[in-house]
Amino acid sequence: MKKQVNIEDYEKNHFYFHSIEKLLSFYSLKSYYLTLKFEDINLSNYKFISVFLKNIKTREVLKCASKIEDNSLVINLKALNDLCTNYEYSIIVTLENYNYSTTIYPRLKTIDKKENSIISSSANSNIQWFLRILENGKLRLSTIYLFNNLEKDNTKITI
């Protein structure tokens, strides 16, 4: 005979994990920093917040440095510059309390067809971050390596 368990007792004694998509009210990509603000999440309610980039093709997962500023999640991408050049990555945010964990997949509610991609404005590096927004509102990150224009470069190459 199976034992019946009260759901409240189960929640107190077991670690919960679930994943959901959450809408963004704001996003920005400047230099090496991606800023995300969720519509209905108060980030100060969580003990631990982690951000990961998941490679779309290889399924490799990279952990990002992040911090909270004015209920916005600021993700530092600088350490991952050289790792993300040839692939696209989805963004995964993990919110944790003592016995409860939620994985968030950020997405936009409406997509303006004219502005479905952003290239970061980093002037001090040949590597720039690229944020692409899919038709379903999901975000994809990658880096672009910019080569110097050889025609404007005064150095001569001899063979």
Is 9 within a domain?
no
Q: pTM higher than 0.85, yes or no?
A: no
Give how many domains the chain has, as a whole number.
Answer: 1
Q: Is residue 10 part of a domain?
A: no
pLDDT of residue 159: 45
* Per-residue pLDDT tens digits for 5-42: 555 554 555 555 567 899 999 999 988 899 999 999 99
Which structural domain, as residue segments, surrounds residue 99? 17-145
4: in domain: no
The string of pLDDT tens digits covering residues 119-146 is 776 655 678 888 888 888 899 998 887 7
50 falls within a domain: yes
**pLDDT higher for 159 or 92?**
92
Q: How confident is the model at residue 158 (pLDDT cuts 50, 70, 90)?
A: very low
CATH number of the domain within which 111 lies: 2.60.40
Tell me if 2 is assigned to some domain.
no
pLDDT tens digits, one per residue of 74-86:
999 988 877 877 7
What is the full DSSP assignment across 75-122? EE-GGGGGGSSSS-EEEEEEEE-SSEEEEEEEE-SS--GGGSEEE---
